[in-house]
Amino acid sequence: MFATRIAATAALTLLVAAPALAYDSHDFTTTASTAGTTAYIVGEHNKDDFEAAHDFAHNQQFALQREAAAGGGEHVAALAELLGTDDDRAFGRWMQSHYGALYPDQPAQANLVDRIVSLQRG
């Protein structure tokens, strides 16, 4: 579990630092779920943590959206922990800078966690 957390933290830290890429919101919505799940599991993350992150993002969607717009908060910090990153402030700033992609004008079909992973994988 500890090794998984270290690997997850390293992977997420590298991905958070990656620059934003242009995306097609229609393509993004349809592929984010599959891409997010695949990328997370291939990165040797704990599937239970990934499922817990999905559940948390679903149940706390409005608080996460509000805090993403603000650049952080306790819900964003909790999501960062579930995703295995130690720097929840950097994660909050990343969510704020990618807010438009994470929360498109048209309701996204993919879970927030899948959208995060998909954006970070480029």
User: Which residue has tokens 């969607």?
Assistant: 61
Structural domain that includes position 61 = 2-121
pLDDT band of 24, cuts 50, 70, 90: very low
Exposed / middle / buried, residue 62 (Cβ in 10 Å: 0-12, 13-18, 19+): exposed
Q: How far is the first Cα of the chain from the last one, in angstroms, to the nearest whole number? A: 27
Closest CA to 12 of 83, 110, 71: 83
Does the pLDDT of residue 6 top 90, yes or no? no
Confidence of residue 46 (pLDDT cuts 50, 70, 90): low
Give me the number of domains the chain comprises.
Answer: 1
pTM higher than the cut 0.95: no
Q: What is the pLDDT of residue 68?
A: 98
Per residue in 68-106, pLDDT (tens digit) is 999 999 999 999 999 998 899 999 999 999 999 999 988
Question: Which residue is associated with the tokens 């498109």?
Answer: 104
Rounded to 10°, the helix 47-59/112-121 angle is: 120
What's the chain's average pLDDT?
A: 75
* Greater model confidence, 1 or 119: 119
